[in-house]
Structure 1
Amino acid sequence: MDMKLLQDTIDLLRSHIDSGTDIDWMEMDNRPVRDIADMLNAYELAYSRKITVLACCILIHTALNKHGKLQAKDNERLTRLLLDGDYLTGLMYRIAVKRKEWKLLSRLLPFHKRMQLSLLKNVSPERILHELKREIHSYLEQRSA
C-alpha cells in the first residue's frame, strides 16, 4: 500500500475537520481503505485526484462505522454518533466540491442514498463497503478510459 497517499489523505482530512468537532474519525479497520488506495494506484490519475477519492472513501467508511455503533438505549451517545456520521458525510461532499470533483460526486450521491437505505435494512457494513469499492472501480474505469 502507498503509505504516502494514505498519509497525504489523512493530512488533507485533518486540515478540513473543524477544530471543535472532537470526532474520533480514524478508529477504523483500514482494510477497505487499503483496498481502495491500492486500486487507485493502478490508475493514471493526478495524485491530487487520488487523494480526493480516497478522502471521500475514508469519510464514507468512518460515517458508516459511526452509524453502525448506534445503540437506542443510549440517547446521548446515539445523538453524538449520528451527528459525527452526518458531519463526516458532509465533509466528504465539501472536500469533493472544493476540489471540483463533480463526476465523483455524481457517483457518490446515489451511493450514499443506497447506503442509508441499506443501513435501514441491516445490511452489513462489509457489504456496503464492498459496494463502495465497486462504485469507485467503475468511476475510475470511466475516468481513465
Structure 2
Amino acid sequence: MAAGSGGRKPGAPRDAESEVWSRRVRDLVGSGPGNRLCFECGQRGVTYVDITLGSFVCTGCSGALRGLNPPHRVKSISMTTFTEPEVLFLQARGNEQVERGVAKPRGVAARATPTSIPDRWPVKELLRRRDGG
C-alpha cells in the first residue's frame, strides 16, 4: 500500500466519503412513498437495493433476485458501503422510475412474492431496457 494511504487499498473509498454515500442511500428510502415499499412484493420496510435495476427491495425478495440467472446485484442498505456511481444511479431510478420503465408480462399480478420473481421478470428483457437497448 502506498505511504500515507492510511492502510486502505488504492482506489478504495475513504471511510468518511463512503459514509456520505451510504447516508444518501438511506435518505432515498424516505424520500418518496415508492421507495418505502419493496418494489417486488410491496412489503413495507425495505432493507436492500437492487443495483441492477435501481430499486429498493425487502429481505425475501433480495434473496430471490440473487437467485436469478444472471443474478441481480443486491446490496444491504445498512451493512455495506456505496460508491458515488451507485448512489447517482439509485437517485436517478428508485421504485417509481423503475416501475414506469419496466413492462410487466401480460396476465401477471402487479406484485410478486419472493418465490414468483424468477417467473415474473424476463431478466434479459429488463436488462435490455435498463441499458437502453
Give the structure-1-normalised TM-score: 0.31
The structure where strand makes up a greater share of residues is: 2
The structure where helix makes up a greater share of residues is: 1
Q: Name the larger-Rg structure.
A: 2
